[in-house]
Amino acid sequence: MTYQANCPICQAEINLASDTQESEVITCSDCQSRLVVDKVDMDRVDLSQAPEVEEDWGE
Ligand SMILES: [Zn+2]
């Protein structure tokens, strides 16, 4: 099973893997916004826009 959520930016429906966990960061396939998983409920996930962080992801 998958979770369903709506992108807070573009309202697109997003399907998330069933092992999605809180505070996981995903990318909206529609608007490419970085979103953080706020809360995982029974079959719903709340998303909010991930803060822009100046972390260096590369090596
Ligand atoms: Zn979006």
Rounded to two decimals, the pTM is 0.79
How far does the centroid of ligand 1 lie from the alpha carbon of residue 40, in Å?
18
Task: Report whether 12 contacts 6 (CB < 8 A).
Answer: yes
How far does the centroid of ligand 1 lie from the alpha carbon of residue 32, in Å?
6
pLDDT at 30 (0 to 100)? 95
pLDDT at 32 (0 to 100)? 96
Domain limits, the chain: 3-49
Along the chain (59 residues), what's the average pLDDT of each consecutive run of 10 residues?
92 94 95 96 90 74
pLDDT at 34 (0 to 100)? 96
Instruction: Assign a CATH topology to domain 3-49.
Output: Rubrerythrin, domain 2 (2.20.28)
pLDDT at 19 (0 to 100)? 92
Degrees, nearest 5: CA angle 41-27-2: 40
How far does the centroid of ligand 1 lie from the alpha carbon of residue 57, in Å?
22
Query: Cα(first)–Cα(last) distance of the chain, in Å?
Result: 35
How far does the centroid of ligand 1 lie from the alpha carbon of residue 42, in Å?
22
